Amino acid sequence: MSKRCLIIGAGPGIGQAVAYAFAHEGYDIGMIARNPAKLADACALIAKKTGRTVRAYAGDAGDESSLKAAIGRARRGLGGDIEVLVYNAAAATLGKPTTLDTEQLIAEFRINVAGALVAVREVAKAMRKAGRGTILFTGGASAYEPVAEYASLSLGKAALRSLTFTLAQELGRDGIHVAMVTVHGFVQANTQFDPNRIAQAYVRLHKQARGHFDIETVYR
């Protein structure tokens, strides 16, 4: 019987590394991005290496209707409900607090935070019915150490961390593991912050037994 993992925000780096890691664990993979054509090579490579079904779907994390439709297509395309959701989408426009345009700030908040909640709502019903499931978010050091030049992202990561903890309180009682991997460093291949190394933190959280769920892993 197939297991299904959906990754939202599946560009090069953490998103695709997480896709490979869960495919290696025996999951069929759905990846959502605004331009899924850019994921064609990654899908083919992961499928070849793991033997799993790997498909990309068009969806905009900052647009609720677009994201809902993409999740629906992924569910149908993969043949069933999502068992692992990874929300890795983020917007990171350079700008200090007093230079932020209000509409731009709100648009980025939709991607950094609201899209995560939209995605959770789309998968949580089936997870609750099953009495299990994993929902993982990508956090960042700016939730702890805000950076003026990235004020919008800093606000978003702080809010996403709060959302993670409140969702864990709400959904944990239903057997759903909600957690965050907070990356304290710059993602770069062949370093401690190689995306393939970071991806293993997501897998480790997913494998934790009920009653021993961590809400956050800080990756340093």
Any idea what the CATH number is for the domain that residue 115 is in? 3.40.50.720
pLDDT digits (tens, 9 = 90+) for 117-157: 999 999 999 999 999 999 999 999 999 999 999 999 999 99
Closest CA to 86 of 209, 173, 220, 198: 198
Distance CA 74, CA 107 (A): 24
Count other C-beta atoms under 10 Å from residue 175's C-beta: 15
Amino acid at 181: V
* Host domain of residue 92: 3-219
pLDDT at 11: 86
pLDDT at 2: 86
Ranges under pLDDT 70 in the chain: none
Contact 78, 57 (CB under 8 A): no
For the chain, the domain total comes to 1
pLDDT at 1: 72
- pTM (predicted TM-score): 0.97
Q: Is 188 exposed, middle or buried (0-12, 13-18, 19+ CB in 10 A)?
A: exposed
pLDDT at 103: 96
Distance CA 116, CA 113 (A): 5
